[in-house]
Structure 1
Amino acid sequence: MSAAKKSIFAYRELIAALAWKNIVVRYKQAYLGILWAVLKPVMLMLIFTVVKSFVGIETGNIPYPILTFAALLPWIFFQESASEGVNSVTSNAALIKKIYFPREVFPLTAMVTKLVELTISFFILAGLMIYYEMMPSIYACWVPAIILYTMIVALTISFFGAAMNVYYRDIAQALPVALSLLMYGSPVMYPLSLVHKKLIEEQAAGIWSNDLYTLYTLNPLAGIIDSFQRVLLKGLPPDFEAIYPGLILTLAMLPFSYLFFKRAENWFADVI
């Protein structure tokens, strides 16, 4: 992993240049430009709000639209970083065949591109907080750490998925389906507190309740989304009991994912 850090630092200018190219190419001829980056979370927020009016979801004293929008920010950042990261090597086949540089630059570039879009979405969230008269507390200082954790999760999937996608293009087709299913297993449409209430407090699954809750929090996005909402909207510190299972799993998988990517990259130019 120390080699990865050196590569990131040594090729930081290349990563920045490729990320800027991605942004320019994507939005250059779009009438709304980079504002398209915030349309997805805004539209999903509106759709979830309409669904909530029929279903009924307990959100405490936090208005549902801003609670959902705050959940969508880290989720969409993760989802699109992972999706583009997995496709990043095959989509740059011409560049790979021309010159050598560490191939992890491509997943990193995909993530940096989405980081720019995430920054824009933060302004929308700030506007919603002003509208609902919500002021962030000192715990908002946890936001950079939560975003960094989200980046690590996305890179863990991107490294392994990008290497596999070179050899098996079905990976890129299956990933959107897997991520769509994962969204329903993450506290995006509903808060984590509802899952905690059903499984831990009410023991809805009987003797399996505690194990099911632990299994649920093995999904890193469960702790990420809940913590993001807590520190920004609720004025509370992160719930580390919800974070630790997913964090431990991610830190255990990241080295293997990166090593698999580095071993596979030796044949990228031949296979791609």
Structure 2
Amino acid sequence: MIGIVKNVYIYRELIGALTWKNIVIRYKQAYLGILWAVLKPIMLMLVFTLVKSFVGIETGDLPYPLITFAALIPWVFFQESVSEGVNSVTSNAALIKKIYFPREVFPLTAMVTKTVELLISFVILAAMMAYYQIVPSVYALWIPAFILYTMIVALTISFFGAAMNVYYRDVGQAIPIALSLLMYGSPVIYPLSLVQKKLLEEQAAGEWSDKLYTLYTLNPLVGIIDGFQNVLLKASEPDLHALYPGLILTLMILPFSYWFFKRAESWFADVI
């Protein structure tokens, strides 16, 4: 972790230049420009709202579009960061063969690029909160911590996935599918309170209910998404019991993921 922070500082200008290049190339000839970045969460929110009208999902006193968009902000940031991070090394093959610098710059650049788009999504959320007359409380100060946590989770997957993708290109193809499935295992379409009600209160899975809930919260996005909704919309502190399992798992895997990436990068130029 210290090595990551050190390289971010040393190569901050390179990361900034590559980030700017990614943004310019992606939106240069697009009429809507960078607004395309927020179309995905907006369209998903509209689709989920339509589905909710048929299925019926309890969200308490909060409007479903608002609570869903708040869930989609960290989810889309995570999903896009991982998708581009895993493919970041192979997509920069020409640069890798020309000059050496720490290759973790590429997953970091992919994540920083998505941070710019994340800020635009927050502007949309602020407008929605104003429309629904939801005023953020002091608990909103938790948001930077949740963003940092989301970055760490994304990098944990990106480092390992990017290294594997150099040798096995199937990884880059499989990641979008895996992330699409993971979304249904995260409280994006439905709130965490619904899972807690079914497993912890009603014991819907019998004696396995508590174990299944613990397994569910091993997904770091569970605590992140629920935390976003709590601190921004519900004016309450995050559910630490939902945060701890995923956080502990992430901190255990991150050193291995980074070590694996650094071991593999010596042969990137030869294999890629």
TM-score range, shorter-chain basis?
A: over 0.9
Deviation at 1:6, TM superposition (A): 1.4
Task: Give TM-score scaled by structure 1 length.
Answer: 0.99
- Deviation by residue 1:223-269 (Cα, 9 ceiling, x = unmatched): 00000000000001010000000000000000000000000000000
Partners of 2:4 and 2:127 in 1: CA distance: 37
Deviation at 1:2, TM superposition (A): 2.2
| Structure 2 spans left out of the alignment, 5+ residues | none
| Matching residue of 2:86 | 86
**Local SS of the residue matching 2:203:** coil
| Matching residue of 2:103 | 103
**Local SS of the residue matching 1:187:** coil
| Structure 1 spans left out of the alignment, 5+ residues | none
Q: What percent of counterpart residues are identical? A: 79
Task: Give TM-score scaled by structure 2 length.
Answer: 0.99
Answering whether residue 217 of structure 2 is matched by residue 217 of structure 1, we say: yes
Partners of 1:137 and 1:57 in 2: CA distance: 25
Partners of 1:229 and 1:107 in 2: CA distance: 27
- Deviation by residue 1:191-227 (Cα, 9 ceiling, x = unmatched): 0000000000111111000000000000000000000
Equivalent position amino acid for 2:109 in 1: T
| Matching residue of 1:65 | 65
Answering whether residue 135 of structure 2 is matched by residue 139 of structure 1, we say: no
**Local SS of the residue matching 2:129:** helix
Partners of 1:156 and 1:6 in 2: CA distance: 17
- Deviation by residue 1:120-167 (Cα, 9 ceiling, x = unmatched): 010000000000000000000000000000000000000000000000
Aligned positions of 1:1-272 closer than 5 A: 1-272=1-272
Q: Aligned pairs, how many?
A: 272
Deviation at 1:4, TM superposition (A): 2.1
Deviation at 1:5, TM superposition (A): 1.8
Partners of 1:245 and 1:225 in 2: CA distance: 14
Partners of 1:115 and 1:146 in 2: CA distance: 13
Equivalent position amino acid for 1:18 in 2: L
**Local SS of the residue matching 2:43:** helix
Partners of 1:149 and 1:251 in 2: CA distance: 10
Equivalent position amino acid for 1:261 in 2: F
Deviation at 1:88, TM superposition (A): 0.1
Deviation at 1:12, TM superposition (A): 0.5
Equivalent position amino acid for 1:173 in 2: Q
Equivalent position amino acid for 2:211 in 1: D
Partners of 2:75 and 2:91 in 1: CA distance: 23
- Deviation by residue 1:22-56 (Cα, 9 ceiling, x = unmatched): 00100011000000001000000000000000000
Partners of 1:132 and 1:153 in 2: CA distance: 31
- Deviation by residue 1:44-88 (Cα, 9 ceiling, x = unmatched): 000000000000000000000000000000000000000000000
Equivalent position amino acid for 2:100 in 1: Y
- Deviation by residue 1:88-122 (Cα, 9 ceiling, x = unmatched): 00000000000000000000000000000000010
- Deviation by residue 1:161-185 (Cα, 9 ceiling, x = unmatched): 0000000000001111100000000
Deviation at 1:8, TM superposition (A): 1.0
Deviation at 1:3, TM superposition (A): 2.2
- RMSD value over aligned CA atoms? 0.5
